Chains A and B, each alone.
Chain A
């Protein structure tokens, strides 16, 4: 069952199932979208004026230019949070036990959910960018920069989705899964998402500078404004790959435990 064609075929089958669920039960997808859009409106529309003034001439353009990368990271986290909930609810279904008795590529259920989650993140991210353009986003990034930004965004979403799939498997209840994943949504507040880390008090600043979201946000910001920094980029990619590898191994390990549900 390690034949690559079967791996792809089974993952595609499970993705189909995941997409059908998302279409029939769109609440989770919508709830993943509401939060980032609200934050975008709140931070740009309500706090944006003051925050922009605080930034001075260290950055160019409106606050929307500064805040969008942070909101995009929150988008990935917010959609992944909904994925944790969805996975946890799904794991309580009898059909999962049936999958475990079948000769399929075993992690395909999880892989399908990860790919589904990445797809939802891309759609939600596009919606957020659309709102940002309406709010006056101006970008100096070239097509190649945008492509690189999308690539990093997908990689981030892939890593966070594996992590929240693991959370969904770990938690005993949907609300437990939700609380675990909420950490990811809150973490960007202590990063360079809304204000530069240099303006933070020393202890918080050290944390903010070294946590994974800061290099990811800085890289996205550089790409969107057309001033990419290769050094941040490498750190950002390394974090995403590292999280994806560890989280996927963890998720598969959790999935391979004895089936918790009776059939």
Chain B
């Protein structure tokens, strides 16, 4: 991957703030999206992801801060911004009284495409989103997943340089999700920049080359998925013992680790590095404790998410505190 600064920025936001009355949605968000990247915006419900997308797509004016899309200021040059973006929001933005084909044709007209180009793109998008058969039915008769696919097809009619996707796979079946992932990868291959929000950390991990984690309206962490995982204490090592004495002795040595009597195992937090594992084994050896087997699980984005937003629902704090020194 080239160094961060080598790529020009598609989006640059500094100190974005948005208040709805006394309710703060964004409290000073900084965000950069390099051109040609897939950047995933993740964060708990209500953290401001949709608000960010709505500001960047010129639907809302920020109360403070500024942002540019390809160098065009959102507030000063909204027309220039609109000319290069495409938005598929969290809630469907299709015309329910028209058919799928008419919706795409409406987009083609508003993009002022020549007739031949329009017809070609309409057919191509219907095909790509598997809507050809349903093309001439009113959208009111579409399923939720079909509407989401049509929504994205409409966004792509104008061949935007930046695409915003707010929870694009919410409500899609596994197959629909795979189709969407493939489309995102195809778009990126064509040089399109993508900013997507998602609740599925696995999706961010697979799709994004940069992840921005936001909480309570501000950025809390940013980087490639692997950079973020390194910051997290969330990885685990599971030690299996042959006998109870060994387990008991190890539990004393690693105070606070999660002890499981039924399968004689002990789970400790670790960054998953070889060094970390070696340290654990060294300590066990010094005490003369015999360990039968070991399995390591590196941190995933879930761990990063919970570590940095601090709201893991169940009581695994014991694991979190048993960090290897």
Please give the residue numbers on chain A whose beta carbons come within 8 Å of chain B beta carbons, in ascending order. Answer: 1, 6, 9-10, 13, 16-17, 20-21, 24-25, 93-95, 97-104, 258-259, 261-263
Contact = CB atoms under 8 A, between A and B. Distances in A.
Contact of B82 (A6, A16, A102): A102
Interface of B: 50, 54, 57-61, 79, 82-83, 85-87, 89-98, 102, 106, 109-112, 138, 154, 158, 166
A21 B139 CA distance: 13
B59 A93 contact: no
Contact of A95 (B50, B57, B94): B94
Contacts of B57: 101
Contact of A94 (B58, B94, B109, B112): B94
Contacts of B93: 94-95, 97-98, 263
A258 B109 CA distance: 25
Contact of B112 (A6, A16, A93, A95): A6
Given A259-B54, A262-B50, A263-B89, A17 B95 contact: yes
**Chief secondary structure at chain B's binding surface:** loop
Given A6-B112, A258-B60, A263 B79 contact: no
A263 B97 contact: no
B157 to A, nearest CB: 10
A261 B54 CA distance: 10
Nearest to B139: A95
Nearest to A258: B60
29 contacts: A6-B112, A13-B106, A13-B110, A17-B95, A20-B98, A21-B97, A94-B92, A95-B93, A95-B95, A97-B93, A98-B87, A98-B154, A99-B110, A100-B59, A101-B86, A103-B79, A103-B83, A104-B110, A258-B59, A259-B54, A259-B59, A259-B60, A262-B89, A262-B90, A263-B89, A263-B90, A263-B91, A263-B93, A263-B166
Contacts of B95: 17, 93, 95
Given A102-B158, A103-B79, A17 B59 contact: no
A258 B158 CA distance: 24
